[in-house]
Amino acid sequence: MNRSSVPRFYLYALLGAVCLLFQAGCSGNNSTTSAQFTASATAPAPGLVKLVEKSRSGARVVIDVVLFGPEPTLDLDGFQFGIKIGDSSLVRLAAQMTYPQTALVAGDGQTIFIDVDGMSDPSLIRVVTAKQGGGAGNGFATASTVVIELPFDVQAAGATSMALVGVGNTPPEAIDSTRVPIGDVRFDAANATVTGVTTGGGGY
């Protein structure tokens, strides 16, 4: 009996230790952070470029840079602008291999170039899109079109501004097929807000 009871004693001790570790984990920080997006108060209007929420799930929010229309007579050939994040420790671009857009439509012999840089300066997302191959630009007959779609991840609780800005000495702009800025396209000057909301963490 004594010989068989010793291994059983150690088994019970091991099980007890596992239970204690499990209870400690359950009483720890089980909080989750979710993303929220608040667009600027600027009313949509033809020719306006604005930050608009497409979707959100958990800590990620997908934001569309939207050009409102219809604008069928535009000669869209490209865009260049930045997205300024007030506090990049709260919100970061989730870099992708490709980024969707619908504003530029490739014609015969044309391709669409897209460059998104959120690594050089996490607080300033640089966006350049352009038609390549020559030829005309395009307009659009729908109520809106997507200049670029970008996913962002919230890192912690808190709120930060997000704004459409220029890069360097160049203001944010849409470009026509002669490489001239399009005056009828204007970028929202008001800020949007991204907020991280933390819930839970009280244990069981």
Residue 5 lies in a domain: yes
| pLDDT per position as a tens digit, 57-115 | 999 999 999 999 999 999 999 999 999 999 999 999 999 999 999 999 999 999 999 99
Domain assignment present for 176: yes
Instruction: Confirm whether 204 is domain-assigned.
Output: no
CA–CA dist 194, 96 (Å, integer): 20
Helix H or strand E encompassing 11: helix 2-26
Contact yes or no for 94/59 (Cβ under 8 A)? no
Q: Which domain holds residue 6?
A: 1-30
Task: Indicate if 136 and 178 belong to the same structural domain.
Answer: yes
Do 47 and 59 reside in the same domain of the chain? yes
Domain check: are 10 and 53 in the same one?
no
Question: What is the residue-level pLDDT of the chain in tens, covering all 204 positions?
Answer: 444 444 554 444 444 444 444 444 444 557 899 999 999 999 999 999 999 999 999 999 999 999 999 999 999 999 999 999 999 999 999 999 999 999 999 999 999 999 999 999 999 999 999 999 999 999 999 999 999 999 999 999 999 999 999 999 999 999 999 999 999 999 999 999 999 999 886 544
Q: In angstroms, rounded to a whole number, what is the distance separating the alpha carbons of residues 191 and 50? A: 10
Into how many domains does the chain fold? 2
Residues sharing a CB contact under 8 Å with residue 160, sequence separation 6 or more, in sequence order: 85, 86, 87, 88, 90, 91, 193, 194, 195
137/170 same-domain check = yes
CATH number of the domain at 36, please: 2.60.40.680
Helix (H) or strand (E) holding 22: helix 2-26
